[in-house]
Amino acid sequence: MKMNGARILLECLKREGVDTVFGYPGGTVINLYDELFNFKDIRHILPRHEQAGTHAADGYARATGKVGVAIATSGPGATNTVTGIATAYMDSIPMVIITGQVPTALIGNDAFQEVDIIGITRPCTKHNFLIKDVNDIATIMKKAFYIARSGRPGPVLVDLPKDVQIAQTEFVYPETIEIRGYKPNLTGHPRQVEKAVAMLLAAHRPVVYVGGGVVLGNASDELTTLARMLSLPVTTTLMGLGAFPENDPLSLGMLGMHGAYCANMAMTHSDLIVAVGARFDDRVTGKIATFAPHAKIIHIDVDPTSIKKNVRVDLPIVGDVKDVLAKMIKQADKSRDKAADFAAAIASWHEDIAGWKAKHPIAYKQSSTAIKPQFVIQKLRELSDEDAIIATDVGQHQMWTAQFFQFNRPRTLLSSGGLGTMGYGLPAAMGAQAAFPKRQVITICGDGGVQMNIQELATLVQNRLPVKIVILNNNFLGMVRQWQELFFDKRYSQTCMELPIDFVKLAEAYGAKGFSTAKPGEVEKIIKQGFKHPGPVIMEFKIAREEKVLPMVPAGASLNEMVLNA
């Protein structure tokens, strides 16, 4: 049957199993929206800003593991998606972004609402496509989804001119696709795996360093099995939180700039680091020259470019982390005869780690007069469901969440790690809630970042998405203020938010519910009321204003040079 390009695009989405899209209409996608009007198989959610729509697709993808889909019109609609695309790119999130484009005959003429979105997004997409012929839509969409979700995932943008949406052709969706320049290497080399296990069993001070790749690769079970089998201490990055249960005694928590003392000390003293789906980011390694000076490094990653980019590697294993970890489990099982010796060899290492844990646990000073942000996070963990999804914004509250909310399951923390995008939390939570209407979805935000996409309250109310918005209000751009306090003699240049906002009234203006308190004694009550309310809620906690995130490795310092209390 002949269909127009717009309809073909929707049929492609359906074939790819897309049930929800986040999009915003405009002149160059009006034909697509006209087809959508009668297309019942896809739910369309209208955000109040294309940036938020893109973050929502990202939150949907992180929470489900499926490809998130966003739509925007050409020109300003397309440029509004760029922050969302770059955020997803830095954290390797599978997404397909569809932008309208001016008719092919006008491309390059500075037509109304024309931008070169292909050029603009080239460095922040895994790949992008301009579709010039209606006959190419099906193949390109098939490729776009395949590229987005396979190998190291990432966002793919498809630019679709208006005339191509109108043109007609026969719709045939290809069963398979072959891209000769794209063949991700998914299976780990067996000999490398053998060597890795041999190195591991010969180690005395091993640490497993886990990144977001384990979450993206759905390899938490394998990781947990391997770690428990050999009693390996595990530390995760921000992106890796949830990949290994933090309530397991083998967990060291998060490492890096605001990581746990024991995690950073373990890295510094380790003689063997097994990096799994992690990329040795500067926020994790601290000063590279003094990073893990005694350790041999085994690096497992699906993306060869991650390996040896920042640090030397003794044994690289390119492959899907799930496959490689499963093979390592088998290999370790074969070497069972060595298990007792290995356990004995690392016994004193476990004692060292226990010592560091006891010496400087992640902690804070409680107060009876001011709300401590860490206390709010602990209460949220205590009172929320075990499978609650937490989306954070970016700043101090993000780090307190990482430190004090115990993440025990994968895909329960959604946070912009690589790009550090303020304004991410609320729309990402919206996307996760759209995917899981029945689960508890909480976003933990600062008073600064929450105002970068606050308009999405309207989307939440309209679509009955009962996201719980927690605002840790210090009336500061707190994270920047902390740096100014520590490194710029308290010159608080442009970080005080002077104007106090009435967040309760703001919630009410959108038809949501608002709570606010500055009293520690009311924290529990408000969280309970907020969770109980069936719709979207803002819970504002006016916190101790100059509370700092500690410990901290100052930028450029070594991991073992942590500021523990300042």
What backbone phi and psi angles, to 5 degrees, belong to 157?
A: -105, 140
For ligand TPP, give the closer residue by CB, 91 or 447. 447
Residues 146-185 that bind another protein (CB under 8 A): 147, 179-182
Residue of 39, 113, 485, 546 with catalytic role: 113
Residues 200-259 that bind another protein (CB under 8 A): none
R_g of the chain computed on alpha carbons: 24
Asked whether position 533 contacts another protein by CB under 8 A, the answer is no
Asked whether position 122 contacts another protein by CB under 8 A, the answer is yes
For another protein, give the closer residue by CB, 60 or 129. 129
Asked whether position 308 contacts another protein by CB under 8 A, the answer is yes
H helix intervals, 312-395: 321-334, 339-345, 347-359, 373-383
For every residue of 254-323, DSSP letters joined together read E-STT--HHHHHHHHH-SEEEEES----HHHHSSGGGSSTT-EEEEEES-GGGTTSSS--SEEEES-HHH
Cα 455 to chain centroid, rounded: 22
CA gap 92, 254 in Å, rounded: 20
Asked whether position 519 contacts another protein by CB under 8 A, the answer is no
Residue of 143, 162, 372, 468 with catalytic role: 162
User: Which among Mg ion, ligand TPP, another protein, none contacts residue 420 (Cβ within 5 to 8 A by kind)?
Assistant: ligand TPP
Classify 441 as helix, strand or coil.
strand
CA gap 78, 24 in Å, rounded: 10
CA distances from 220 to 144, 212, 450 (A): 27, 10, 31
Note every long-range contact of 332-337, with CB atoms under 8 Å and residues 24 or more positions apart, other chains counting: 332/197, 332/200, 332/201, 332/226, 332/229, 332/230, 333/229, 335/197, 335/198, 335/201
Among 73, 87, 474, 495, which residue sits at the site for Mg ion (rule: CB under 5 A)? 474
Site string for another protein, 131-150 (x = CB under 8 A): ----------------x---
The least CB distance from residue 100 to ligand TPP, in Å, is: 25
Q: Is 162 a catalytic residue?
A: yes
User: Which among Mg ion, another protein, ligand TPP, none contacts residue 118 (Cβ within 5 to 8 A by kind)?
Assistant: another protein
CA gap 147, 67 in Å, rounded: 10
Asked whether position 447 contacts Mg ion by CB under 5 A, the answer is yes
Residues 285-304 that bind another protein (CB under 8 A): 303-304
Classify 368 as helix, strand or coil.
coil
Residues in binding contact with another protein, number by CB under 8 A:
17
For another protein, give the closer residue by CB, 89 or 364. 89
Find the residue with minimal CB distance to ligand TPP: 446
The least CB distance from residue 561 to Mg ion, in Å, is: 27
The least CB distance from residue 302 to another protein, in Å, is: 11
Asked whether position 545 contacts another protein by CB under 8 A, the answer is no
CA gap 145, 423 in Å, rounded: 26
Asked whether position 540 contacts Mg ion by CB under 5 A, the answer is no
By CB under 6 A, name the binding residues for ligand TPP.
Answer: 393-397, 420-423, 446-449, 472, 474, 476-480
User: Which among Mg ion, another protein, ligand TPP, none contacts residue 127 (Cβ within 5 to 8 A by kind)?
Assistant: another protein
Residue 433: both structure tokens together: 């809630």
User: Which among ligand TPP, Mg ion, another protein, none contacts residue 359 (Cβ within 5 to 8 A by kind)?
Assistant: none
Q: Which residues of 531-557 are buried (b: 16+ CB within 10 A; e: fewer)?
A: beeeebbbbbbbbbeebbbbbbbbeee
For Mg ion, give the closer residue by CB, 87 or 474. 474
Position of tokens 């080399």? 189
Q: Is 50 a catalytic residue?
A: yes
CA angle 205, 210, 215 (to 5 degrees): 155
Q: Check if the beta carbon of residue 273 is closer than 8 Å to that of residue 234.
A: no
Active-site residue set? 50, 112-113, 162, 479
**Given the rule CB under 8 A, which residues bind another protein?**
118-119, 122-123, 126-127, 130, 147, 179-182, 303-305, 308-309
**Given the rule CB under 5 A, which residues bind Mg ion?**
446-448, 474, 476, 478
